[in-house]
Amino acid sequence: MRTQWETRRPLLPELALVAATVAYGATFVVVQDALERVTPVGFILLRFAVGAAVLAPFALRRGWRRAGVSEPARAFAVAALAFGVVGFAGYWFQNAGLQRTTTSNSAFITGLFVVFTPLVETVVRRQPPPRNVLVAVVVSASGLFLLTGAELSMNAGDALTLGCALMFGIWIYLGGEYSQRFDPVALTAAQMAVFASLAVPVVAVGGLGALDAQVLVAVAVTGVLCSAVAFSLQLWAQRYVEPSRAAVILLFEPVVAGFVGYAVGERLGVAGYVGAVVILAGILLAESRSWRRREPVGRGPGAV
């Protein structure tokens, strides 16, 4: 159940998710430029190694347990491994798909995690999400399609990217579950360590690429801001926001990326800007019930 402090400020977890998406979307151009010099998995290795190193001292101080929740170290290790493997698979599928499909198709299909997340939640919990969230999923997916200008086609790259969307849907659901049991900072640090560890053999075979000052800046910014900070914010927020609602809010990322693109000279066109507005409408729709209901809501095992 939410604490008294969170009940008085019911939108704070949602705002934390929005802050995380701003960090993700704002660095899209920086990452895109860096990937011209280093391999995709090489960038994953560098980014998440930095993120894990930054969070490690805080994670060691805080410990893996949530306050008031008793969990053995083995359970934490299993959760971090599962969380990390699923997340790494999502990033790997996304990068492999990008090599075989268009950027717009990749953006739209990746965003279908907003559809897969409630499906995963329904299958596991055997209970569908609230009706307003399901409607918000449809609205937001439509807005994302307009935002990216994607076409409905399917090739090998699209299929790989569809696997990415499924992995991210599972990843978001696992975040909601594990955040009930473990400290978000410790779990984020452990997850990123798994990411980096899984990238090592791939980089050993495929290479890292060329490091220069621009790449190192991108690694530092994404490692600290988008990984250490934003991942921790997202995982903390998912303790109080259902996975399906969290997925809808996370769709704010391509909207932010679109505005960043506008600032550097890219233009979305009329359909793109309409899509951005539709996504925002979907987010508002997903949150409409939480605004009307201010009483504390139970969130499963270990909620406080």
pLDDT tens readout for residues 91-115: 888 877 776 766 666 666 777 788 8
Domain residue extents for the chain: 4-292
Query: Cβ(119)–Cβ(165) under 8 Å?
Result: no
- In whole angstroms, what is the distance from residue 143 CA to residue 76 CA? 37
Please tell me the pTM assigned to this model: 0.77
Query: Cβ(288)–Cβ(254) under 8 Å?
Result: no
Using left for φ > 0, alpha for ψ between -120 and 50, and beta otherwise, residue 70 falls in beta
What is the band of 5 on the pLDDT scale with cuts at 50, 70, 90?
very low
Nearest to 52 by CA among 174, 208, 188, 172: 188
For residue range 207-253, what is the model confidence (pLDDT) as tens digits?
888 888 988 998 999 999 989 999 999 998 988 888 888 888 887 77
Strands (E), the chain: none
Using only C-alpha atoms, the chain has a radius of gyration, in whole angstroms, of 19
5 by Cβ neighbours in 10 Å (0-12 / 13-18 / 19+) ranks as: exposed
Q: From residue 184, give the alpha-carbon distance in Å to each of 43, 154, 180, 236, 296.
A: 24, 37, 9, 5, 21
Q: Which residue has the tokens 């209901």?
A: 293
For residue range 148-183, what is the model confidence (pLDDT) as tens digits?
665 666 677 778 888 888 999 999 999 988 888 888
pLDDT at 200 over 90: yes
Query: Cβ(160)–Cβ(93) under 8 Å?
Result: yes
